[in-house]
Amino acid sequence: MKKYIFFLFACFLLLFSVGCQQKSEEKMKEIPIVHENLTLEQLEKQATIPYKLPKKLPFEPVEIFAERNDYKDLYEKEEQVEEIYIHYIKTNRDERYLDVTVSNLEETPPQGESVPLSNGREATYVEDDVGQLLFWNEGELHYRLIYYTSDKVNEGQEPLQVEQFTEIANSFR
């Protein structure tokens, strides 16, 4: 009887460990390779998607840094899939900033106001608890512009007029 119970216990442990191992590998597949605190020059060398950056900003940044998330190993298509974040810091004292996100991940923007861009494309403008957001697509790339106005995120900054915000998007080259 003891051998039977020991055998059942051993089978249970084996099945449990195999089940946990599969879950761990699945979880690992969901995590991208992250490259943080990149300069724009480093980003240019590493990025594989043809991203654009704004030439016009509502302030002169005191610092610019980027992050790159590489999802290549996560998708069956064997295509390079990545997400790029560029942070434009307004002042180090207040930590006021503007973010640009560019990715070729599938993305559906939230509901918002449709605004035209100068290149004939439509963008979606949204205001939420964090700040002002603008979403648009160019080919396979999805762009997101975030201007933080919330005291929750930093010391807050005055919101831009929608026209000023779209001017930033129109300056991407």
User: Do 70 and 15 share a domain, yes or no?
Assistant: no
**Residue 115 lies in domain:** 32-170
**Interatomic CA distance for residues 159 and 15, integer angstroms:** 56
User: Do 24 and 45 share a domain, yes or no?
Assistant: no
* Dihedral sign from CA coordinates of 96, 98, 103, 106: positive
User: Do 125 and 73 share a domain, yes or no?
Assistant: yes
User: Do 124 and 53 share a domain, yes or no?
Assistant: yes
User: Do 128 and 158 share a domain, yes or no?
Assistant: yes
Predicted pLDDT of residue 98: 92
Q: Residue 99: which residues within 8 A CB-CB, separation 6 or more?
A: 85, 86, 87, 88, 144, 145, 146, 148
Predicted pLDDT of residue 164: 95
Predicted pLDDT of residue 11: 44
Predicted pLDDT of residue 105: 86
Query: 25-71, pLDDT tens digit by residue?
Result: 444 455 778 889 999 999 999 999 999 999 999 999 999 999 999 88
Query: 107-164, pLDDT tens digit by residue?
Result: 888 899 999 999 999 999 999 988 999 999 999 999 999 998 887 766 668 899 999 9
Query: 75-94, pLDDT tens digit by residue?
Result: 665 677 899 999 999 887 66
User: Do 59 and 128 share a domain, yes or no?
Assistant: yes
Q: Is the pTM of this model over 0.75?
A: yes
Query: How many domains is the chain built from?
Result: 2
| Res. 10 pLDDT band, cuts 50 70 90 | very low
**Interatomic CA distance for residues 139 and 59, integer angstroms:** 28
User: Do 24 and 91 share a domain, yes or no?
Assistant: no
β-sheet bridge partners, residue 74 = none
87 φψ region: left (φ > 0), alpha (ψ -120 to 50), beta (else): beta
CA angle 75, 108, 65 (to 5 degrees): 75
Q: How many CB atoms neighbour CB 92 within 10 A?
A: 9
Residues in the chain, how many? 173
User: Do 5 and 74 share a domain, yes or no?
Assistant: no
User: Do 49 and 65 share a domain, yes or no?
Assistant: yes
User: Do 14 and 97 share a domain, yes or no?
Assistant: no
User: Do 21 and 56 share a domain, yes or no?
Assistant: no
Predicted pLDDT of residue 9: 46
User: Do 22 and 76 share a domain, yes or no?
Assistant: no
